[in-house]
């Protein structure tokens, strides 16, 4: 047996006080004069023996009551293998889950309120000399310092719901980081959470060498929930006044079918679409919402779903840009191609920009959704590398080889792009034999496809290699399935390669009716816009249009009264924003340079919190190391369970009970054990 506070054992010296009182009877006797004492001897002998027994019993009761009271303050216990050394300073790290799922209610109120109470109960089980770390989903810098018990309780009261959602290995790693510098102290780690399967993750926790590890699981009620999983627009390019279609992916996490769930779409605060849907249990479904009447500029979208009682995932934010005009970069070999120029000037939406291949602004390439390379005899290595980077990041590149082209330079660039390349010039006249009407480029172009369409005539052409066939999409073919105009996927973008220059000496394609529809469809299906939304807590890098940033002109993200300055870096002709954990709440954030609006960026909460499925205790035990424990938070306080874990089998409660028993025994002896009420034998009367 050991003691938590052995210094209290010195108080056992106080046991001498009852002994001294017993040895020296300080009661003052009162003289009583009695005329006849012939019967007093028998009375005195009887009362003396009973009084001695009574006083000894009272003395024993006092000594035992006082001894057990002293032992209770000394906190005796029987240690086990996980017991800590009493009196040794301890560092206690407590993670308090404040994610969206902690808003759900149970019999104790909200899970977050119960988690706060449990955190305080854990802290109360330790001494005032121990130090505490409070960690929440935000991973804030202020939570990296050690606190006293009172400071810890105050910090717990300030915790609020957060949009962040961390996995269990991230949490443990963060808790260990502050303990690495606390050598010599006993370390305790607690994680208080509802332990959702989707948010916690299935990863095994590595054994902790110098710390005891405990998971405190709060019991949550399983509630039905429907969430907006994701959204996307069907059109890659958005024009003012045109109709748009938004696809919404819905997820029903409940075990029951959902009927008549209302869905609303708002653009810039104005309701644009309204609908309702039904969704089967444990399934996903895609619905399409149509809207129109958009003006040019950034559009702030919001989808609202009515689903009670879980409401944190009922809103979904997204943004996109409706451009007044679409810039097209036309790179030529010294003289602008008249056919490309004429084609893109027929529609005021397109804004063609001509530039010589030796004067291309590489930093501004990413601002063009489409780049067309025509009549360049030899492609410089620098331009080839920049175009490869442009396509890999989502750009669309159209290539029309020049008359007398340097085929080796074309091969060097196109082979790196995963595309076919021109191998040799074929001077035999032929005709395009096949038009791939199943290609997305031709979808909606023809009302009725004729059986014998008028296809381009070819006088001569470059024979294209078979490279890139696995990722190719033929638009037009020559006899023998030789590619005439094909598309190739490369990275996140596409390359469209023609077998002929846009010159009438090669074919009649420059004046053919198919040229303009194909060019327009390539441009309209190109997509180099930023994503519709990002996720809070994923530490994603936000790519936006290039900016010239100086010390006096910084970029700012703002939402309402909240303003933050992201880390902005220029790379490969684009501006990348590193927001890290600065974004804490979902919504549409305005990106401003000085006072001018540069972009609008949407952030949504992590949908992992929407799946309210929880780990069973046995499943949690399989995730943690052998020195870890799983504590089920019942109605009783955690203080007793933690004391038992830290100090083994504790006996102070037994000591208190025994002390009270012996105090009660002393009271009973004094109250009911009387020595005066004794019957005397009466001698026979004498006649």
% of the chain residues with pLDDT over 70: 86
Which of these ranges, 147-161, 346-360, 549-563, has the smallest mean pLDDT?
Answer: 549-563
Strand partners, 276: 262
Of 598, 600, 578, residue with least CA distance to 590 = 600
Sign of the torsion formed by the C-alpha atoms of 265, 271, 276 and 281: positive
Residue pointed to by tokens 């399935």: 481
CA distance linking residue 438 with residue 591, whole number of Å: 40
Structural domains for the chain: 2-79+650-672 (no CATH), 90-216+614-647 (3.40.50.410), 226-323 (2.60.40.10), 326-524 (3.40.50.880), 540-600 (2.60.40)
User: 580 — alpha (psi -120 to 50), left (phi > 0) or beta?
Assistant: left
Q: Is the predicted pLDDT of residue 593 greater than 80, yes or no?
A: yes
* Mean confidence (pLDDT) of the chain: 84
Is the preceding omega at residue 579 within 30 degrees of 0, hence cis?
A: no
Burial of 30 (0-12, 13-18, 19+ CB in 10 A): exposed
Give mean pLDDT, residues 422-443: 88
Question: Residue 87: which pLDDT band, with cuts at 50, 70 and 90?
Answer: low
Collapsing DSSP to helix, strand or coil, 132 comes out as strand
457-458 vs 493-498, strand pairing mode:
unpaired
% of the chain residues with pLDDT over 90: 35
pLDDT for residue 254: 87
Collapsing DSSP to helix, strand or coil, 385 comes out as helix
Q: Is the predicted pLDDT of residue 545 greater than 90, yes or no?
A: no
Highest mean pLDDT among 142-151, 264-273, 539-548: 264-273
Q: Is the predicted pLDDT of residue 445 greater than 50, yes or no?
A: yes
pLDDT for residue 62: 86
CA distance linking residue 183 with residue 635, whole number of Å: 36
Per residue in 282-305, pLDDT tens? 999 998 999 998 999 999 999 999
Paired tokens of 148:
């006293």
CA distance linking residue 417 with residue 493, whole number of Å: 10
> What pTM does this model have?
0.72
Question: Residue 554: which pLDDT band, with cuts at 50, 70 and 90?
Answer: confident
pLDDT for residue 469: 53
Give mean pLDDT, residues 573-601: 85
Question: Residue 355: which pLDDT band, with cuts at 50, 70 and 90?
Answer: very high
Give mean pLDDT, residues 351-357: 94
In 97-141, DSSP assigns E strands to 105-106, 109-110, 131-135
Question: Residue 680: which pLDDT band, with cuts at 50, 70 and 90?
Answer: very low
Which of these ranges, 4-18, 120-134, 331-345, has the smallest mean pLDDT?
Answer: 4-18
In what helix (H) or strand (E) does residue 429 lie, and over which residues does it extend? none
Burial code (b: 16+ CB inside 10 Å, e: under 16) for 425-444 equals eeeeebebeebeeebebbee
Of 315, 312, 316, 314, residue with least CA distance to 161 = 312
pLDDT for residue 130: 87
CA distance linking residue 238 with residue 196, whole number of Å: 39
Per residue in 461-476, pLDDT tens? 999 987 655 578 889 9
211-217 vs 628-632, strand pairing mode:
parallel
Q: Is the predicted pLDDT of residue 84 greater than 60, yes or no?
A: no
CB 308 within 8 A of CB 221: no
């Amino acid at each position: 047996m050991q003691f938590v506070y052995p210094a209290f054992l010195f108080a056992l010296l106080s046991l001498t006080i009852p002994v001294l009182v017993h040895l020296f009877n300080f009661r003052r006797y009162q003289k009583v004069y009695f005329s006849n004492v012939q019967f007093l001897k028998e009375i005195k002998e009887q009362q003396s023996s009973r009084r001695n027994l009574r006083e000894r019993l009272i003395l024993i009761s006092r000594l035992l009551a006082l001894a057990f009271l002293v032992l209770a303050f000394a906190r005796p216990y029987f240690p086990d293998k996980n017991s800590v050394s009493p009196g040794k300073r301890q560092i206690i790290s407590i993670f308090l889950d404040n994610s969206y799922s902690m808003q759900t209610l149970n019999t104790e109120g909200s899970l977050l309120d119960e988690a706060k109470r449990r955190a305080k109960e854990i802290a109360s089980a330790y001494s005032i000399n121990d130090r505490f770390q409070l960690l929440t989903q935000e991973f804030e810098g202020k939570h990296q310092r050690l606190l006293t018990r009172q400071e810890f309780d105050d910090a717990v009261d300030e915790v609020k719901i957060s949009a962040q959602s961390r996995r269990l290995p991230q949490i443990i790693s963060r808790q260990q980081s502050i303990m690495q510098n606390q050598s010599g102290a006993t370390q305790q780690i607690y994680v208080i959470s509802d332990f959702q399967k989707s948010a916690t993750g299935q990863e095994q926790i590595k054994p902790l060498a110098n710390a005891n590890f405990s998971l405190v699981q709060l019991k949550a009620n399983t509630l039905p929930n429907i969430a907006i999983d994701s959204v996307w627009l069907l059109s890659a390019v958005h024009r003012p006044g045109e109709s748009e279609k938004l696809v919404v992916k819905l997820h029903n996490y409940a075990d029951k079918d959902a009927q008549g769930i209302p869905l609303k779409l708002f653009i810039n605060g104005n309701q644009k679409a309204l609908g309702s849907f039904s969704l089967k249990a444990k399934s996903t479904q895609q619905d399409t919402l149509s809207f129109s009447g958009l003006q040019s500029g950034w559009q702030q979208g919001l989808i609202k779903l009515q689903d009670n009682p879980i409401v944190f995932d009922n809103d979904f934010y997204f943004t996109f840009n409706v451009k007044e005009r679409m810039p097209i970069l036309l790179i030529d070999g010294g003289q602008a191609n008249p056919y490309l120029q004429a084609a893109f000037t027929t529609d005021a939406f397109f804004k063609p920009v001509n530039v010589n291949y030796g004067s291309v602004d590489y930093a501004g390439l990413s601002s063009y959704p489409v780049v067309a390379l025509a009549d360049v005899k030899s492609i410089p290595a620098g331009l080839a590398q920049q175009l490869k980077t442009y396509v890999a990041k989502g750009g669309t590149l159209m290539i029309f080889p020049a008359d007398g082209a340097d085929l080796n330079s074309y091969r060097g660039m196109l082979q790196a792009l995963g595309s076919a390349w021109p191998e040799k010039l074929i001077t035999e006249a032929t005709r395009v034999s096949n038009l791939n009407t199943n290609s997305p480029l031709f979808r909606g172009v023809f009302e009725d496809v004729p059986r014998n369409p008028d296809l381009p005539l070819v006088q001569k052409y470059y024979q294209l290699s078979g490279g890139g066939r696995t990722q190719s999409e033929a638009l037009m073919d020559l006899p023998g399935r030789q590619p005439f105009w094909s598309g190739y996927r490369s990275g996140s973008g596409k390359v469209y390669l023609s077998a002929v220059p846009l010159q009438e000496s090669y074919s009649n394609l420059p004046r053919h009716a198919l040229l303009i529809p194909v060019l327009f469809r390539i441009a309209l299906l190109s997509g180099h816009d930023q994503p519709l939304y990002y996720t809070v807590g994923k530490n994603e890098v936000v790519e936006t249009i290039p900016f010239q940033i100086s010390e006096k002109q910084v970029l700012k993200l703002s939402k309402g009264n909240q303003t933050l300055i992201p880390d902005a870096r220029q790379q490969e002709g684009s501006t990348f924003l590193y927001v890290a954990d600065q974004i804490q709440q979902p919504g549409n954030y305005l990106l401003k340079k000085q006072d001018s609006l540069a972009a609008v960026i949407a952030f949504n909460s992590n949908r992992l919190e929407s799946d309210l499925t929880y780990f069973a205790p046995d499943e949690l035990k399989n995730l943690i190391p052998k020195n870890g424990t799983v504590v089920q938070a019942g109605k009783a306080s955690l203080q007793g369970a933690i004391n038992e874990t830290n100090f083994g089998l504790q006996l102070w409660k037994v000591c208190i009970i025994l002390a009270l028993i012996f105090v009660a025994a002393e009271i009973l002896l004094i109250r009911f054990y009387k020595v005066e009420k004794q019957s005397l034998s009466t001698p026979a009367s004498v006649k």
